[in-house]
Amino acid sequence: MKLIITMLFCILTFSAQALEIKGVKVDESTQVSGSSLVLNGAGVRTKMMFKVYVASLYLAHKQTDAVAVISDTGNKRINMHFLRALSAEKLLHGMDEGFTDNNSAAEMTAIDAQMKSFRQLMTSAKEVKEGDVIVLDLTAAGTQVNLNGKVLGNIEGAAFNQALLRVWLGSHPVDGSLKKALLGQ
């Protein structure tokens, strides 16, 4: 009986602990606009062998299909916990590549105004430092951009949300292994 109780305690203790990646605590759940979300997956964004940030994706329920995640209009969250300092220019360059590699010219034209707003918000930060956290909350109204708990601004529209998700989950993601990790694969 003691063995069963000890094993049960160990299992419950292990399952209650948050995931940790590269020293970054990744919460198992979060709230966005009153909706409870669960961790779908998390991993490290690597660029030319440099570990740039730990990303985590939160959804209403776990999903392994990228197309289903992108097309779902429910609330979502993407956390980016930076492992190194990066200028806003370099961050945007990587994001821009992800947008253009995963969205058609027509899709990019349709979100041109939102892209300008996104670039302005990201540029306003000047740089991200090691330990900084960018949180992107995607809702039916659009995307809220946060840096270290401070709201930088909002970008309206579901089309922008889908284009943004394609940066990580599209057919040509910024990091293929990160895409698999975010999808829990």
pLDDT digit string (tens) for 142-169? 999 999 999 999 999 999 999 999 999 9
Other beta carbons within 10 angstroms of residue 110's beta carbon come to: 16
pLDDT digit string (tens) for 66-99? 999 999 999 999 999 999 999 999 999 989 999 9
Number of domains in the chain: 1
pLDDT digit string (tens) for 111-147? 999 999 999 999 988 899 999 999 999 999 999 999 9
CATH of the domain at 50: 3.50.70.10
Domain membership of residue 12 (yes or no) is no
Q: Which domain holds residue 120?
A: 20-182
Distance in angstroms (rounded) separating the CA atoms of residues 37 and 123: 29
pLDDT of residue 17: 56
